[in-house]
Amino acid sequence: MKHSMKTLMVAAAVSGMLSGAATMQAATSQTTTNPVVKVGKASFGSSSLNQDTTKHSCKGKNDCKGQGGCKSSDNGCKGKNSCKGKGGCATDGSKHPSA
């Protein structure tokens, strides 16, 4: 790509970043006053997260299970009750049912 062309392309990218940053700032201030619309629509206008083929991966989930994030701090949701039915916590020496 020619130097002059590349300069134009970089300028286009930077102008996009400026408008994106402005969109984000507007979304953030809107979020403060109206938390109901903080995701997607009001925050990002017509190019909302949903319309932008973005998919919410934790649909239907209300907890951190399976999302991985809770583990970095204190292993919060890991392995709780993991011994349930497996005998691992038993103090009577009983074995795992499959053993």
Query: Using CB under 8 A as the criterion, what x/- string covers residues 36-75 for binding other proteins?
Result: --xx----x--x-x--xxxxxxxxxxx--xxxxx-xx--x
- How many other C-beta atoms can be found within 10 angstroms of the C-beta atom of residue 44? 19
Per-residue CA distances from 18 to 11, 35, 50 (Å): 10, 24, 22
Shortest Å distance, C-beta 32 to other proteins: 13
Asked if 86 is part of the footprint of other proteins (rule: CB under 8 A), the reply reads yes
Asked if 76 is part of the footprint of other proteins (rule: CB under 8 A), the reply reads no
Shortest Å distance, C-beta 87 to other proteins: 8
- How many other C-beta atoms can be found within 10 angstroms of the C-beta atom of residue 43? 19
- Which distant-in-sequence residues (6+ apart) come within 8 Å of 23 by Cβ? 43, 44, 45
Question: Measured between alpha carbons, how far is 43 from 24 in angstroms, rounded to an integer?
Answer: 7
Q: Which positions touch other proteins (CB under 8 A)?
A: 1, 6-10, 12-24, 27, 38-39, 44, 47, 49, 52-62, 65-69, 71-72, 75, 78-79, 82-83, 86-93, 95-96, 98-99
